[in-house]
């Protein structure tokens, strides 16, 4: 079993992540603290809100603060900052004081509706909030070594373990919004207390069993059962309980369904548990759900969740571009799921998708200045269409400063503050490198420290050099991911060519050796610009290509190409030229090409006519999807019309 090498052992000095992480520290974290403060989310933990006052604590507010705390803890681990630390400790004090004598800890159900504690697990996010606080406490403990917050959350987890379970007098429930499960695995790993792993396993195993807890619970409330409630406008296409991935016990689930963030968090916990408990059936379910999510229901950006209504998965190959939801949180969840599948088994499919999400659909969620956020991440935008559609603020053609439901901003903050954790994994006798990025990774190999130094300009250049730094020789397998997008990869060990064909198994080159200080592996991963097609059943992308170079997916923006991006067509013969532009959008490789643009000349007042529009040659410029919408608002398009 491989475990991620924690972010605080990974120092990135690259041109993609390091600047993002710096902006995250300098701009995003303070802004989000301020948003949590001024919206009352932090003060809510004082438990002094009273009916009639403003800022009534919402059921999911705790989780927004928790994710900010987790992000702050990660940041402190790598970059000591007294002001940030003071802010974090202040919030921790508030959270700790909000804990009830019995261990319970939830603002809304302590002061707003105390009588409703644990009465609607389906809709009210109590365990979800608990999970995020647990993740924050683990991060804080790992960053500082201080146990105070961790102890608070252990007490809460122990309380939860008393309330829920299969024993007499216990509730056989589980949360409508998964999160507690993966958090408990983290708590188990941080504390070594197996009871937290057991509780996670209980929540995962109980899910979807009959008689259905959500209905029994609804009955007690005198509420409609979920079965009938399901055929609501909210998610009309779902089967009963699919919204919460509670339509069947998890080992029997076949497709990625329902609310996409919840699905990703559940599947992440399932993968963790399958690895921890060597549960083959659970692992098989994980693989099945992985395939459903990534081989039939994922946008090319790594986004998941096709529909705004229900923020959810729809059906195979349904990937609408303008109306893509692809919530930032869901794409982050997909990276988490991928990382955990890599913990279960080393396979390039997981690494490839993790990379796809990390370089595309996740960073698109935040502006380059770290101050504005996307909740939904569409793959095509016509600003006027959004003005006219029935879209909430979550779906807008420009990033927003904050949201009433503010899950995405702190989620991306914690991702960016800990992105180093996605670079490597480590297990007995094995180190796997998933992501290439300039920087240094410290490893502990059975008590011996060892460093891997990466020199590369990845993702803008495919040449990677990895040097081993070790005081003494160390025998282990170094497994290097050969990306799925790459054809013709080459590798050298200390200058001598390696026979990759013989070394690569499931997407990783396994180099077994007694490694010595100064050993150098060089990779050459050619990254020409590719025209990527979607599966023919994806009706939205028919006759179109997306441009991809290395792991980076590109888009056309109005700022570079004018309006009516769909009037542009890429001839088959067009040469696509990539060039790094250090002054553009924080430094990105752009792609330029000669293309053709249909002209409105000759159409006068006609809307339809029996002659194809005339075309003129134009030069187009594509920029990485991850940095779109950082200039003036306008159209955007990932899938470009392609001439055959």
Binding site for a copy of itself (CB under 8 A): 233-234, 236-237, 291, 294-296, 298, 300, 306-309, 314-315, 317-318, 382, 384-385, 387-392, 485, 530-540, 542-543, 545-546, 548, 564-567, 569, 598-600, 603, 605-613, 641-644
Distance of alpha carbon 442 from the chain centroid = 24
Tokens standing for residue 310: 């229900």
Distance of alpha carbon 287 from the chain centroid = 18
From residue 399, give the alpha-carbon distance in Å to each of 36, 332, 476. 18, 17, 45
Q: What is the CA radius of gyration of the chain?
A: 25
Minimal distance in Å, beta carbon 560 to a copy of itself? 17
Minimal distance in Å, beta carbon 426 to a copy of itself? 29
Query: Do the Cβ atoms of 264 and 334 come closer than 8 Å?
Result: yes
Assess whether 407 carries a catalytic annotation: yes
Nearer to a copy of itself (CB atom), residue 463 or residue 531: 531
Minimal distance in Å, beta carbon 571 to a copy of itself? 9
* Partners of residue 294 on adjacent β-strands: none
Minimal distance in Å, beta carbon 258 to a copy of itself? 12
d(CA 508, CA 505): 5
From residue 540, give the alpha-carbon distance in Å to each of 97, 371, 534, 622, 639. 52, 32, 9, 20, 9
- 362, 355, 354, 313: which is closest to 335 by C-alpha? 354
Nearer to a copy of itself (CB atom), residue 8 or residue 566: 566
Nearer to a copy of itself (CB atom), residue 471 or residue 537: 537
User: To which residue do tokens 């302590």 refer?
Assistant: 110
Tokens standing for residue 364: 């698109």
Minimal distance in Å, beta carbon 224 to a copy of itself? 19
Minimal distance in Å, beta carbon 471 to a copy of itself? 43
Nearer to a copy of itself (CB atom), residue 100 or residue 566: 566
- Which CB contacts under 8 angstroms, 24+ apart, belong to 600-604? none
d(CA 16, CA 211): 50
Nearer to a copy of itself (CB atom), residue 291 or residue 506: 291
d(CA 359, CA 17): 9
Minimal distance in Å, beta carbon 335 to a copy of itself? 17
d(CA 112, CA 455): 54
d(CA 436, CA 456): 7
Nearer to a copy of itself (CB atom), residue 45 or residue 375: 375
User: Considering 135, 242, 276, 311, which one is annotated as catalytic?
Assistant: 311
Nearer to a copy of itself (CB atom), residue 146 or residue 487: 487
User: Considering 154, 407, 408, 555, which one is annotated as catalytic?
Assistant: 407
Residues annotated as part of the active site: 311, 407
């Amino acid at each position: 079993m491989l475990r991620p090498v924690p972010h605080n052992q990974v120092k990135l000095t690259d041109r993609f992540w390091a600047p993002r992480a710096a902006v995250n520290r300098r701009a995003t974290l303070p802004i989000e603290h301020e948003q949590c403060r001024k919206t009352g989310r932090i003060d809510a933990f004082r438990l002094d809100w009273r009916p009639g006052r403003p800022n009534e604590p919402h059921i999911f507010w705790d989780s927004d603060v928790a994710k900010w705390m987790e992000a702050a803890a990660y940041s402190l681990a790598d970059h000591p900052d007294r002001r940030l630390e003071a802010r974090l400790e202040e919030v921790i004090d508030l959270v700790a004081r909000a804990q009830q004598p019995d261990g319970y800890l939830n603002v809304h159900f302590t002061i707003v509706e105390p009588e409703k504690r644990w009465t609607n697990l389906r809709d009210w996010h109590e365990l979800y909030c608990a999970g995020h606080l647990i993740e924050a406490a683990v991060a804080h403990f790992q960053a500082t070594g201080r146990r105070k917050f961790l102890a608070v959350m252990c007490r809460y987890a122990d309380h939860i373990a008393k309330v829920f379970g299969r024993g007499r007098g216990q509730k056989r429930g589980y949360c409508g919004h998964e999160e507690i499960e993966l958090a408990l695995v983290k708590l188990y790993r941080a504390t070594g207390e197996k009871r937290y792993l057991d509780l996670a396993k209980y929540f995962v195993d109980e899910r979807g069993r009959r008689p259905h807890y959500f209905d029994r619970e609804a009955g007690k409330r005198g509420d409609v059962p979920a079965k009938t409630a399901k055929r609501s406008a909210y998610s009309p296409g779902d089967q009963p309980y699919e919204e919460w991935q509670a339509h069947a016990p998890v080992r029997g689930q076949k497709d990625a369904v329902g609310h996409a963030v919840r699905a990703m968090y559940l599947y992440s916990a399932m993968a963790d548990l399958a690895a921890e408990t060597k549960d083959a059936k659970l692992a098989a379910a994980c693989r099945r759900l992985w395939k459903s999510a990534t081989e039939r229901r994922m946008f090319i950006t790594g986004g998941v969740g096709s529909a705004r209504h229900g923020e959810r998965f729809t059906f195979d190959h349904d990937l609408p571009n303008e109306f893509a939801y692809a919530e930032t949180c869901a794409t982050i969840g997909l990276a988490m799921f991928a990382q955990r599948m890599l913990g279960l088994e080393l396979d390039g499919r997981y690494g490839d998708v993790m990379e796809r999400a990390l370089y595309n659909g996740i960073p698109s969620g935040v502006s380059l200045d770290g101050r504005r956020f996307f909740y939904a991440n569409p793959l095509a935008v016509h600003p006027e269409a959004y003005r006219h559609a029935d879209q909430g603020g979550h779906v807008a053609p420009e990033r927003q400063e904050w949201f009433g439901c503010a899950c995405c901003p702190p989620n991306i903050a914690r991702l960016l503050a800990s992105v180093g954790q996605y670079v490597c994994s480590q297990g007995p006798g094995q180190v796997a490198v998933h992501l290439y990025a300039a920087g240094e990774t410290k490893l502990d190999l059975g008590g011996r420290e060892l460093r891997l130094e990466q020199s590369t300009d990845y993702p803008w250049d495919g040449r990677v050099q990895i040097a081993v730094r070790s005081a003494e020789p160390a025998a282990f397998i170094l497994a290097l991911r050969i990306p799925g997008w790459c054809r013709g990869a080459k590798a050298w060990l200390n200058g001598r060519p390696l026979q990759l064909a013989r070394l690569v198994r499931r997407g990783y080159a396994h180099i077994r050796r007694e490694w010595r200080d100064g050993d150098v592996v060089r990779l050459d991963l050619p990254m020409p610009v590719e025209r990527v097609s979607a599966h023919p059943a994806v009706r939205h992308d028919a006759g179109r290509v997306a441009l991809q170079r290395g792991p980076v997916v590109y888009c056309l923006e109005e700022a570079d190409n004018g309006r009516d991006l769909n009037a542009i067509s890429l001839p088959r013969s067009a040469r696509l030229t990539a060039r790094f532009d250090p002054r553009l959008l924080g430094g990105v490789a752009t792609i330029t090409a000669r293309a053709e643009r249909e002209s409105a000349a000759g159409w006068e007042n006609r809307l339809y006519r029996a002659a194809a529009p005339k075309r003129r040659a134009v030069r187009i410029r594509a920029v990485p999807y991850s940095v779109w919408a950082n200039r003036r608002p306008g159209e955007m398009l990932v899938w470009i019309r392609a001439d055959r």
